């Protein structure tokens, strides 16, 4: 209702014009009656007079119909625009746990086909109700001509309403099924497009086509079932009123033969009865649109009713970073309903200190990094920056203060300049180039066809993995956050380039607090202190030399990370000995 009321004046004007056009149209049968009875049968009036009136009313109907439809369609698209913005704005507020469990294709389907179903119903249902209102006006004219004939003509109408109600009950579950299976198809297509490199690398095209075929077959079954139901009930809804027309011709003809009713009255009566068929035909269409819209609305509400788990506290204040001191205090955390990934995790990073966090696959390194910008909330314990619990400060100020570079960087399908300046859209080219130099990206960017104006492919796949990581590092450095997280950010970069990046980072990290998720010794060398994580707990910490002498686990982790690959793959391109957690 708020979405519709936001366009109430345009919407009301469209409906008023539609109503005016239908009211004008209702006058035509009455004029036709007068033309037959007064001009043709009794010659008491000029036929031309009626013709001019009918022509004028036809022109007025055309003008009001044009204006009404123009405003109606404009309103419909404005409603659709608003609904898309509402859904997208809500999706941007939802937290990471929601996206962990929901498929992208499901969200795309809701944001497209479901919104379109709701939009069509919101726009055209009121227009259908106006059609029904004109049916009432037409019935009033029928009563004015002959009450018994009007009553008899309405005998089939209760059957129409009962059939319409039966249709409604039958269509709703199938409409829900159609929208759900549209989402299934969208999910398969989305995953195949985004994962096309994986599909092709395993020559799995035929298997994926089979998966799409199965989803499309289920969708086809739902559509065919929907068509069967509408084919069964819609003709009855639309054609039962014609039984009333047969009654009018039978009874009206009898009355005309006996001189109790004029021929013009029968013609007018038949025209009004035909006008009443339009609302009942509209009922059939509205039932179909309404059931699909109801199913779509429930699917949209499934998203809109989701509440963000990570929100600002009522008394949240902006984070003001001074020294950049970071502390994890007895943190306990696990994803969804799974087991704890971190248990009694306590770590302090002093302002300006660089700490490397190392550990086996699945030990919880990346999880710790995600808790710092509050992508997730801890189950127990707390995370602090300069003594402030991250849950007590605003999310915007927290994420402005904490920059993060992930091991799988995401680039947008825009220019490299815009990708680097994503966190600072107003940055000038000098600052963008400086950040690119520090990240070791400037040289390769200059060799691209259009330099910094080169548009990268979807997700940045026109660049190599190492190039994408360097752009992501430049993007974080341009924002210049006081706290920086590098989550295996150079895993896809060769050793020589990594050393060049480190040369730039050493100066840059000197005055900021940095947490590095690391596997290779070259990356660990950036750190002032190394912390070893195992099964969610810190088991050792110290300098690189101290840990080599005292921690067998640390030695084992380094050995696995630095051992040469068996297939001859260059060191900087081999698989990373770590995981997203």
Tokens 């939009």 -> residue:
119
Give pLDDT tens digits for 184-198: 887 787 777 766 666
DSSP letter assigned to residue 298:
H
Please name which of 204, 182, 183, 180 lies closest in space to residue 192, comparing C-alpha atoms: 204
Asked, for residue 317, whether it belongs to a domain, the answer is: no
The whole-number pLDDT of residue 328 equals: 92
Asked, for residue 232, whether it belongs to a domain, the answer is: yes
Please name which of 567, 554, 482, 570 lies closest in space to residue 521, comparing C-alpha atoms: 554
| Beta strand segments in 350-466, E | 354-359, 380-385, 388-389, 402-405
In CATH, what number is assigned to the domain containing residue 281?
1.20.1560.10
Question: Is 293 found in the same domain as 338?
Answer: no
Asked, for residue 237, whether it belongs to a domain, the answer is: yes
Q: How far is CA 580 from CA 16, 157, 362, 525, in A?
A: 59, 65, 8, 22
| Beta strand segments in 137-265, E | none
CB burial class (10 A; 0-12, 13-18, 19+) of residue 341?
A: buried
Within a 10 A sphere around the Cβ of 65, how many other Cβ atoms?
17
Please name which of 538, 511, 542 lies closest in space to residue 528, comparing C-alpha atoms: 542
Q: Is 128 helix (H, G, I), strand (E, B) or coil?
A: helix
Contact 68, 14 (CB under 8 A): yes
Asked, for residue 567, whether it belongs to a domain, the answer is: no
Q: How distant is the alpha carbon of residue 35 from its chain centre?
A: 58
Please name which of 76, 77, 81 lies closest in space to residue 124, comparing C-alpha atoms: 76
Backbone angles phi, psi at 96, to 5 degrees: -55, -40
Low-confidence ranges of the chain (pLDDT < 50): 564-581
Q: Is 228 helix (H, G, I), strand (E, B) or coil?
A: helix
Question: Is 409 found in the same domain as 360?
Answer: yes
Provide the terminal-to-terminal Cα distance of the chain, rounded to the nearest Å.
44
The whole-number pLDDT of residue 198 equals: 67
Instruction: Write down which residue in 304, 335, 368 finishes a domain.
Output: 304
In CATH, what number is assigned to the domain containing residue 498?
3.40.50.300
The whole-number pLDDT of residue 570 equals: 39
Question: Is 58 found in the same domain as 189?
Answer: yes
**What is the C-alpha to C-alpha distance for residues 93 and 7, in angstroms, rounded to an integer?**
25
Q: Which residues contact 574 (CB under 8 A, 6 or more apart)?
A: 565
**What is the C-alpha to C-alpha distance for residues 463 and 512, in angstroms, rounded to an integer?**
29
Q: b or e along 199-228 (b: 16 or more beta carbons within 10 Å of the residue's beta carbon)?
A: beeeeeeeebeebeeebeeebeebeebbee
Q: Which H or E element spans position 578?
A: none
Question: Is 352 found in the same domain as 295?
Answer: no
Residues in a beta bridge with 359: 533
Backbone angles phi, psi at 328, to 5 degrees: -100, 120
Within a 10 A sphere around the Cβ of 454, how many other Cβ atoms?
15
Contact 479, 426 (CB under 8 A): no
Asked, for residue 407, whether it belongs to a domain, the answer is: yes
Question: Is 343 found in the same domain as 300?
Answer: no
Question: Is 492 found in the same domain as 374?
Answer: yes
* Total length of the chain: 581
Question: Is 356 found in the same domain as 262?
Answer: no
> What global pTM score does this model have?
0.66
Number of domains in the chain: 2
Q: Is 224 helix (H, G, I), strand (E, B) or coil?
A: helix
Question: Is 422 found in the same domain as 284?
Answer: no
Question: Is 129 found in the same domain as 263?
Answer: yes
Please name which of 379, 475, 398 lies closest in space to residue 431, comparing C-alpha atoms: 475
Q: Which H or E element spans position 491?
A: none
What phi-psi label fits residue 250: left (phi over 0), alpha (psi between -120 and 50 degrees) or beta?
A: alpha
Give pLDDT tens digits for 497-555: 666 676 666 666 677 888 888 777 777 877 888 988 888 888 888 888 888 888 888 88
Backbone angles phi, psi at 382, to 5 degrees: -160, 160
Instruction: Write down which residue in 304, 337, 372 finishes a domain.
Output: 304
Asked, for residue 560, whether it belongs to a domain, the answer is: no
**What is the C-alpha to C-alpha distance for residues 193 and 131, in angstroms, rounded to an integer?**
45
Asked, for residue 31, whether it belongs to a domain, the answer is: yes
Contact 331, 380 (CB under 8 A): yes
Question: Is 183 found in the same domain as 147?
Answer: yes
Asked, for residue 278, whether it belongs to a domain, the answer is: yes
Q: Which H or E element spans position 416?
A: helix 416-420
The whole-number pLDDT of residue 572 equals: 38
The whole-number pLDDT of residue 383 equals: 92
**What is the C-alpha to C-alpha distance for residues 575 and 564, in angstroms, rounded to an integer?**
11
Q: How far is CA 289 from CA 86, 165, 208, 327, in A?
A: 22, 14, 33, 56
The residue range of the domain holding 198 is: 2-304
**What is the C-alpha to C-alpha distance for residues 243 and 117, in angstroms, rounded to an integer?**
33
Question: Is 355 found in the same domain as 244?
Answer: no
Question: Is 181 found in the same domain as 40?
Answer: yes
């Amino acid at each position: 209702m708020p979405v519709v009321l936001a366009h109430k004046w345009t919407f009301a004007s469209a409906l008023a014009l539609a109503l005016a056009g239908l009211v004008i149209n209702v006058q035509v049968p009455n004029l036709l009656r007068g033309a037959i009875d007064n001009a043709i049968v009794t010659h008491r009036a000029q036929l031309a007079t009626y013709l001019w009136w009918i022509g004028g009313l036809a022109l007025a109907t055309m003008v009001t119909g044009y204006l009404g439809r123009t405003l109606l369609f404009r309103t419909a698209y404005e409603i659709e625009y608003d609904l898309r913005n509402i859904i997208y704005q809500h999706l941007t507020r939802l937290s990471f746990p929601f996206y962990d469990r929901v498929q992208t294709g499901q969200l795309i389907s809701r944001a497209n086909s479901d919104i379109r179903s709701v939009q069509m119903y919101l726009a055209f249902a009121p227009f259908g109700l106006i059609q029904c209102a004109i049916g009432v006006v037409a019935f009033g004219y029928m009563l004015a001509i002959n009450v018994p004939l009007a009553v008899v003509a309405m005998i089939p109408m209760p059957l129409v309403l009962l059939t319409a109600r039966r249709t409604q009950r039958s269509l709703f579950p199938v409409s829900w099924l159609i929208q759900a299976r549209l989402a299934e198809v969208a999910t398969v297509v989305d995953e195949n497009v985004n994962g096309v490199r994986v599909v092709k690398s395993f020559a799995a095209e035929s298997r994926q086509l089979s998966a799409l075929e199965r989803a499309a077959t289920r969708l086809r079954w739902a559509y065919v079932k929907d068509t069967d139901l509408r084919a069964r009930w819609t003709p009855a809804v639309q054609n039962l009123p014609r039984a009333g027309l047969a009654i009018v011709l039978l009874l009206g003809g009898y009355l005309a033969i006996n001189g109790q009713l004029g021929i013009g009255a029968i013609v007018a009566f038949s025209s009004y009865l035909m006008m009443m068929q339009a609302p009942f035909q509209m009922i059939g269409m509205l039932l179909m649109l309404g059931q699909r819209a109801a199913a779509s609305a429930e699917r949209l509400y499934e998203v809109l009713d989701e509440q963000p788990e990570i929100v600002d506290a009522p008394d949240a204040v902006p984070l003001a970073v001074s020294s950049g001191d970071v502390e994890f205090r007895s943190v306990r955390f696990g994803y969804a309903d799974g087991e704890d990934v971190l248990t009694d995790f306590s770590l302090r990073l002093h302002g300006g200190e660089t700490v490397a966090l190392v550990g086996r696959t699945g030990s919880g390194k990346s999880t710790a990094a995600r808790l710092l910008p509050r992508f997730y909330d801890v189950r127990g314990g707390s995370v602090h920056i300069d003594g402030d619990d991250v849950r007590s400060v605003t999310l915007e100020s927290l994420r402005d203060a904490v920059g993060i570079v992930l091991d799988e960087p995401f680039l947008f399908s825009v220019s490299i300049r815009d990708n680097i300046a994503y966190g600072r859209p107003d940055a000038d080219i000098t600052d963008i180039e400086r950040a690119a130099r520090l990240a070791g990206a400037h040289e390769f960017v200059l060799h691209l066809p259009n330099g910094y104006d080169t548009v990268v492919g979807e997700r940045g796949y026109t660049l190599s993995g190492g190039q994408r990581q360097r752009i992501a590092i430049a993007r974080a450095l341009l924002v210049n956050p006081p706290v920086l997280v590098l989550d295996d950010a150079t895993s896809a970069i060769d050793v020589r380039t990594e050393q060049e990046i480190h040369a730039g980072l050493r100066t840059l990290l000197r005055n900021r607090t940095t947490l590095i998720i690391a596997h290779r010794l070259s990356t660990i060398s950036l750190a002032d202190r190394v912390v070893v994580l195992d099964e969610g707990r810190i088991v050792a910490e110290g300098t690189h030399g101290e840990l080599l002498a005292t921690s067998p686990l640390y030695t084992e982790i380094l050995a696995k990370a630095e051992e040469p690959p068996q297939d001859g793959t260059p060191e900087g391109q081999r698989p990373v000995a770590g995981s997203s957690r």
